[in-house]
Structure 1
């Protein structure tokens, strides 16, 4: 699974900028005028024919996502709820899947993840980032709202503001059909999503690694034997043998990772087959790695601090830790 960041990605991604799927919100560039034409999309599913928001006569929410992105996973809960609530009243949702990791290019992986994440609306793959570039998009997740005449009427980057998005959808549905009788709103006004109460997204490959506590001179491409150290808060440290590359790090003999976290939800993005044994000092669990994607290491209701110790079998690839 080692390799460059998704072929055909826009320049900002090729330049390996850090933490691009973090939830801080910034206005996206395409927010008004005629909706750009979809380009280069493949692998449509959850629909018999490709969706064209320029001509479908519906209010369309276009959502850019990547299935291993924890921010997208949280966002998808809300997007799916809006779709389920308003699909019979003139709303269409299109999920544009743009891969952050190589294994996210595989159609079977995207279909499996969509089903696991409760996505019933149409999805297409944008593996070459052609539609991403057409929209001038820069973030996972990000959505664009199109009226029934095919005009862009709003956009939002990052998580949050779901009640405002629902309000915009309802307004456009009423504009499309003034006689429509809409159901009761399903989103409440929520506090802004922030990252102050959790670790930042933590990439492990050498292209974007920032939060390691191993010696910097050792954290370079190639196979190395690391001496385990205790990481500082918000950071991690490798132990044992690891082969480092631009995106993944691959476990070798006696490979371990110690992660000092502050979060309610901790995931690791993985590829390959094997096991990860996770200990928090009180409990130990052995987690099989049977498919490429995300694995929950910890999931609770409230943020807490602690250290996770991971023992990883040889051949398993780790890409990043993500936090919720």
Structure 2
């Protein structure tokens, strides 16, 4: 979830007049309320990049607790900025803790989390919150979510969703100075993500996150509807799809969280409107890679391919993670996406866009 900032605008003429008659004002620092004590971190089922951290050991440090999970596109896009804050402000007393709280069962696997930490170059401490104990202690409800505590262990700021990085960084600077740090930079980081971590084109994104499992599925358009927990032969009329409509073809078993392909040759179709298209996928229980081929409007993607496909649309599902399948460079319009799987067993969880 991402919350849009309010934007206040001054008439250019008034702004120019003010510049003539008023000296430059010092940069305003955020007014930070007291939002309660930093909850305990004892519920972590493991720690990565660090020995276990406790609330008591963190006293005297400014602490940024960032909730994320590795298949969440919103989380992935914010990680370069969070990593940049950790590197920039660690010498001044900031400790960044990434709390990895899983959305899907496969995100509880420690090897998967370690692979994500390596893939996305995360160096700050990560608490593995497989039991959601830290999540519940914060009464959190969002991925991503950031909570900032002062050196006395009091939460003074929070932000839910992507964006507003300038506000969060100003809050970090304020609390570090309150804690007595000297020489805290007044500049802001500019972390440019690449691949799936590149900032989304929110101004022209009309397709929402879409889950494939029946527990949260919307806009499913295959003939005959969705059959729960049983193998079923699906057929989807591509010409009949409306915007954000999607469907399956071939023999699939749709569960609460995912759809599993029971026979080679199945496909998923989606009529979308966004610059980027991602799909959370995993191989079958045997772990064998699954080959796939992507088309856009019936043609190979060419230069519009994502980082996990080539220009001919070919790719392979070799792990349980988010795959970037489309990255457009021109004007964004409605397009019919299709992914054909050449091998059985693939798990499909959700579409996200950017």
User: TM-score higher than 0.5 here?
Assistant: yes
1:130-184: CA deviations, max 9, x gaps? Answer: 1100000001000100111111111111111100000000001111115334263
Give 2:139's aligned residue: 136
Two-structure CA RMSD over aligned residues (Å): 2.4
How many residues are paired up?
Answer: 297
1:277 is aligned, of 282, 293, 297, to 293
Give 1:255's aligned residue: 266
1:297 is aligned, of 314, 325, 332, to 325
2:35 is aligned, of 32, 37, 57, to 32
Q: What is the alpha-carbon distance in structure 2 between the residues aligned to residue 261 and residue 291 of structure 1? A: 25
Pair 193,153 (structure 1): closer, same or farther in 2 beyond 3 Å: farther
Give 1:16's aligned residue: none
Give 1:203's aligned residue: 211
Query: Is structure 2 residue 315 aligned with structure 1 residue 323?
Result: no
Pair 105,187 (structure 1): closer, same or farther in 2 beyond 3 Å: same
Give 2:242's aligned residue: 232
Equivalence map 1:1-324=2 (5 Å): 22-24=1-3, 32-47=35-50, 49-56=51-58, 57-182=60-185, 184-187=187-190, 197-215=205-223, 217-230=225-238, 231-253=241-263, 254-272=265-283, 273-280=289-296, 281-283=298-300, 284-300=312-328, 303-312=332-341, 313-324=343-354
Deviation at 1:192, TM superposition (A): 11
Deviation at 1:198, TM superposition (A): 3.4
TM-score in terms of structure 1 length = 0.85
Q: What is the alpha-carbon distance in structure 1 between the residues aligned to residue 201 and residue 90 of structure 2? A: 26
1:51-89: CA deviations, max 9, x gaps? Answer: 234442211100000000001000112111111211111
Q: What is the alpha-carbon distance in structure 2 between the residues aligned to residue 225 and residue 187 of structure 1? A: 49
Can you give the 5+ residue segments of structure 1 that lack an aligned partner in the other structure? 1-21
Deviation at 1:296, TM superposition (A): 1.0
Pair 216,159 (structure 1): closer, same or farther in 2 beyond 3 Å: farther
- Return the structure number with greater strand share: 1
Q: What is the alpha-carbon distance in structure 2 between the residues aligned to residue 146 and residue 216 of structure 1? A: 52
- For structure 1, which segment, 49-58 or 116-125, has the greater mean C-alpha deviation from structure 2 after superposition? 49-58
Deviation at 1:226, TM superposition (A): 1.1
Q: What is the alpha-carbon distance in structure 1 between the residues aligned to residue 205 and residue 225 of structure 2? A: 31
Can you give the 5+ residue segments of structure 2 that lack an aligned partner in the other structure? 6-32, 192-198, 284-288, 301-311
Deviation at 1:25, TM superposition (A): 6.4
Q: Which has the larger radius of gyration?
A: 2
